[in-house]
Amino acid sequence: MTLRGYRLEDEHAVVTLWWNSWHSILPGLRHPQPFVAWRERWASDIVFKQEIVVADDDGTIVGFAAADVSGRELTQIFVDPSRKGKGIGGQLLAWAKQLMPEGFNLYTLTDNVASRAFYERHDLIPGRTRINSVNGMEAIEYRWVTVAGRS
């Protein structure tokens, strides 16, 4: 498995992985927007505005991350549900730390216990909560700050 830059031909695989992974967070979890809206959001809000990396396992995309570098936010980090626990998320998070060495924040659903534990194992600090404007659900902020930036 290697990390590589996103290519436009990756769109279908990445958006499908994003959709499937998000819906695997909790049993019965359903996003209020249809798949086509996710594809539109990907194309208009993420692809040309953010840095994107994919985890490629011999031609199969098994994870991805997207970062708004100027805003210092890791906006997306998702792993194929069948590949969780295999170190892919850790590699994607390491990419974000290298890309934004001054620190960054991210949001995850407050109810996403597995992701919250993952972020805390990787030295991210939980913070405030807010309602996600896209899905209407409560999300919690996590921050990663460099050792020099910690108080």
pLDDT in tens, 68-96: 999 999 999 999 999 998 999 999 999 99
How far the first Cα of the chain sits from its last, in Å, is: 36
Percent of the chain with pLDDT over 90: 90
The pTM assigned to this predicted structure is 0.93
How many structural domains does the chain have?
Answer: 1
Could you tell me the residue range of the domain that residue 39 belongs to? 2-149
Distance CA 36, CA 52 (A): 20
CATH number at residue 79: 3.40.630.30
Task: Check: CB of residue 118 under 8 Å from CB of residue 142.
Answer: no
The length of the chain is 151
Residue linked to tokens 């996600």: 132
Kindly compute the dihedral angle of the four CA atoms of residues 100, 141, 7, 70, in this order, to the nearest 10 degrees: -40
Residue 147's pLDDT band (cuts 50, 70, 90):
low
Most confident range, picked from 29-38, 61-70, 128-137? 61-70
Q: For residue range 123-140, what is the model confidence (pLDDT) as tens digits?
A: 999 999 999 988 999 999
| The two three-digit tokens of residue 42, written as one number | 């990907």
